Structure 1
Amino acid sequence: MNNLSKLFFFFVLATVSITSCSKSDDNNNDLADEQRRRDSLNRVRIEALLEEQAPILKNFAEEHIPGAVLDDSTGIWFKIHTPGEEGSYTSWLVPGSMGGLALARPTVEVKYAGKLLNGNVFDKTSEDDPKDQTRSFQIGNDNMGGGLIPAWNLAFYPKEVRLNGRDYKVGGLTENGLQKGAVIELVAPSPYCYDNREQKDKDGKVTIPPDSPLHFYIEVVDIKDKK
């Protein structure tokens, strides 16, 4: 498995402008070379993780999510339990701030549960607490800034969008993207989750160890453009 385009497509890449008042062009070139080296090593690391975790996720999906299908380019296994209301959300592309088109970032209201592969629940909405029966997120935001993990973004966005007679590849898991009322279950390799960053609860207890594949059950209560 060597296709990381979907993963890096949903990462937000920040660029840093470096002034040259006391830096030479050689220094800038050195910084660029170092960044390329780090990026290359990171890709090798991720490829190794995807290859290592592939049989683990396959076995998990076959045992716990009968009927799940594999997205070859990510290693994510998923099953649509309920397709949702067809056409309830279609505005996946919007005018970009610099011209052209950009991905929309609709707000989604969901019920969900997230688990480690050993069955431990690290997060879930509550059926008993009226204040936590659903939660809202804005898709299209990278989890480095507190947004959604790549696996969730890929789950919500469609594979491609047809607009004004043209087809635009988006890279999501499903044909039309998740619609209102849809229910999806998925298991994703760690690079599409929190990668090598451990997650802790408010008490400092580690809830998700580094390099953990994750299992999600997501029900889309609503999806709409942010007002």
Structure 2
Amino acid sequence: MKKIYTLFLLGALACSSFLACSKSDDYDKYLELQELEKQRIEAQIALQKPILEKYAAENFNNAKLDSATGIWYEVLAPGNSESYSYSYNSVEGILFPNIKVAFKGQLIDGTTFEESTAGSFKIFGLKSRILAWKHAFFPQKIGELKIGGLTEQGLKKGSKIRFITYSVLGYDNATTVDKVPANSPLVYTIEVLEITNDQINVTQ
């Protein structure tokens, strides 16, 4: 699960150079808090691992495990490989696309906590979505840059995927998300209707 730690600590590591220049006791406290956070994440992963495995075995027809993230998934439709190219540059870093999707988010007991209505869709900037969505959408690599996506090409127009993720790649221990208790594994089914770096109009 090393990749989970990497994603969660990227922001914190960016702050470490600043903290290192502060008082040593402040920096020691920072390191202590980071260790406690790591232990908390490890505990949730250990607790939820058999839950995810059991759910995937009982509900997915062709379940695959991404060992780096612990996400179980199945690709229901690969999509059009020519419809979008993921990219990055030295100035902006990884470019997050805008997406139009039909989707459903559920708890493992079947409770639906968010979805696009039947026959409709929702539009998001991928950057605004939870980490598990980013893993689902992005490819494993862009050029030689390892991204950590679930699939080789990433999701494209026409792709459809189902996955179950640890809470730490979802809403984690937040208590403010409607219908999602803290530390809840999440199940998503996502169909990509459009993916682009441009703005998506509601009428498109």
Query: TM-score, normalization: structure 2?
Result: 0.88
Structure 2 residue 183 is the aligned partner of structure 1 residue 188:
no
Q: Which residue of 2 aligns with 1:69?
A: 64
Match of 1:209 among 178, 181, 185: 181
In structure 1, what is the Cα distance between the partners aligned to 2:9 and 2:148? 13
In structure 2, what is the Cα distance between the partners aligned to 1:107 and 1:58? 31
Larger helix fraction of residues: 2
Change (3 A) 1:45 1:6: closer
Q: Which residue of 1 aligns with 2:131?
A: 150
Unaligned runs of 5+ in 2: 200-204
User: Which deviates more, 178-187 or 31-40?
Assistant: 31-40
Match of 2:175 among 164, 184, 198: 198
Structure 2 residue 109 is the aligned partner of structure 1 residue 137:
no
Change (3 A) 1:113 1:224: same
**Conserved 8 A contact 2:103-2:115:** yes
Q: Which residue of 1 aligns with 2:190?
A: 218
**Conserved 8 A contact 2:158-2:192:** yes
Change (3 A) 1:43 1:18: closer
Shift of 1:94: 2.7
Unaligned runs of 5+ in 1: 20-24, 142-146, 202-206
Q: Which of the pair has more CA radius of gyration?
A: 1
Structure 2 residue 48 is the aligned partner of structure 1 residue 53:
yes
Q: Which residue of 1 aligns with 2:142?
A: 161
C-alpha offsets along residues 150-170 of structure 1, whole Å, 9 cap, x if unaligned? 1001101110122xxxx2111
Give matches, 1:171-182, under 5 Å.
171-182=148-159
Q: Secondary structure at the match of 1:173?
A: coil
CA RMSD of aligned residues (A): 2.2
The percentage of counterpart residues that share the same residue type is 33
Shift of 1:7: 5.0
Q: Which residue of 2 aligns with 1:22?
A: none
**Number of aligned residue pairs:** 196
C-alpha offsets along residues 178-203 of structure 1, whole Å, 9 cap, x if unaligned? 001100000001111111112344xx
Q: Which residue of 2 aligns with 1:95?
A: 90
